[in-house]
Amino acid sequence: MSSATHDSAPLYEVRNVSKHYGAVVALDDVSMKIHAGEVVGLVGDNGAGKSTLVKVLSGAHQPSHGQILLDGIERHWKSPHDALEAGIETLYQESGLAPHLSVSANVFLGREEVRSGVLGKLGFLAQKSMDVRAHADLERVGIAVPSSSRSVSQLSGGQRQAVAIGRAVAWAKKVIILDEPTNHLGARQAGEVLEVIKAAKEQGLGVIFISHTLPHVLSVTDRIVVLRLGRIVRDAPTSEFNADTLLGTITGLITT
């Protein structure tokens, strides 16, 4: 399924990362790689350390020990903005869309384009240009929004989540991290979101997909990393798992 191989250099990597909160060990010597054009599933029970690892990868938290490497170069994220600037986009469970704004305004939220000349200096936005670009960016990842000038509040739950992911894919230069993107969606809506994930992979992005919905993980990933109690207990191609063995590995009923 993946064009990436373990022989190629990883795009993004954590090496021997640990994260302590006082006496609590949230991550314990975690090493994980993601390649360009690869979808990696990150799974585990509540308290396994997934959220902490996502925060380290996205720059929200600094590791207590270990290294973060992007394109083979060690990086030290001081904030999520640092990671964003380097091309790491993170979409948390709450999509962060502004319902009262249009689709294009949401795609460009915080990155608005101003008009050229004196109007731009006065703060006038290049609305038409943003509408066109937003529509093209979303279409490129397979999102059919009737109009980029339509308010987000008029969209279905699946369309909203697809727009949120589409925005992240449009801006991501290297890696996109998706935290429970299909949560609370119906089967058809979740299917739309999974198609966007496949489109991100086709663009050569590295995708980290965190989900409790194991059929979604099995259907869209190339490799699955299983966390339990802050440690990685399995990192293997998706083809080596089925629903039962994946659940057993997560819960500890199956050990490797």
Do 225 and 234 contact (CB within 8 A), yes or no? yes
| Pick from 181, 222, 215, 197: nearest CA to 41 | 222
pTM of the model: 0.81
* Coil/strand/helix, residue 210: strand
By residue range, what is the domain housing residue 41? 12-98+172-251
Start-to-end Cα distance in the chain: 24
pLDDT of residue 195: 85
In what side-by-side order are the strands of the sheet with 12-21?
24-34, 12-21, 65-70, 73-75
Please report whether residue 152 resides in a domain. no
Look-up: residue for tokens 């991100």? 200
CA distances from 101 to 105, 127, 182 (A): 6, 12, 22
As for how many domains the chain has, the answer is: 1
Cβ(104)–Cβ(129) below 8 Å: no
Instruction: State the Cα–Cα distance between residues 19 and 17, nearest whole angstrom.
Output: 7
**What pLDDT is attached to residue 169?**
77
Q: What is the pLDDT, as a whole number, of residue 175?
A: 94
CB atoms within 10 A of CB 255: 9
d(CA 48, CA 226): 9
Side chain identity at residue 219, one-letter code: S
The token pair that represents 69 in the structure block: 């490497």
CATH number at 240 reads: 3.40.50.300
Residue 134 lies in a domain: no
Q: Is residue 120 part of a domain?
A: no
Q: Is residue 37 part of a domain?
A: yes
CB-CB contact of 165 with 196 (8 Å) = yes
- For residue 174, how far is the Cα from the chain centroid? 11
* Torsion from C-alpha of 168, 173, 179, 182, nearest 10 degrees: 50
State residue 65's pLDDT score: 95
User: Which positions ≥6 away from 10 have C-beta within 8 Å?
Assistant: 33, 34, 35, 69, 72
The token duo for 107 is 């795609």
Spatial distance between the Cα atoms of 191 and 178, rounded to a whole number of angstroms: 15
In a domain, 135, yes or no: no
Inside any domain, residue 230: yes
- Which tokens hold the place of 118? 């004196």
Amino acid 4: pLDDT: 46
In a domain, 162, yes or no: no
**Per-position pLDDT tens, the chain of length 256:** 444 445 678 999 999 999 999 889 999 999 999 999 999 999 999 889 999 999 999 999 999 999 999 999 999 999 998 998 899 988 876 566 777 787 777 777 665 554 555 555 555 555 667 667 777 767 766 666 666 667 878 877 777 777 787 777 777 789 999 998 888 777 877 887 888 888 889 889 999 999 999 999 999 999 999 999 999 999 999 999 999 999 999 998 887 6
Phi–psi pair at 168, nearest 5 degrees? -65, -45
Strand stretches in the chain, DSSP E: 12-21, 24-34, 39-43, 65-70, 73-75, 88-91, 175-179, 206-210, 223-228, 231-237
Asked whether residue 87 is assigned to any structural domain, the reply reads yes
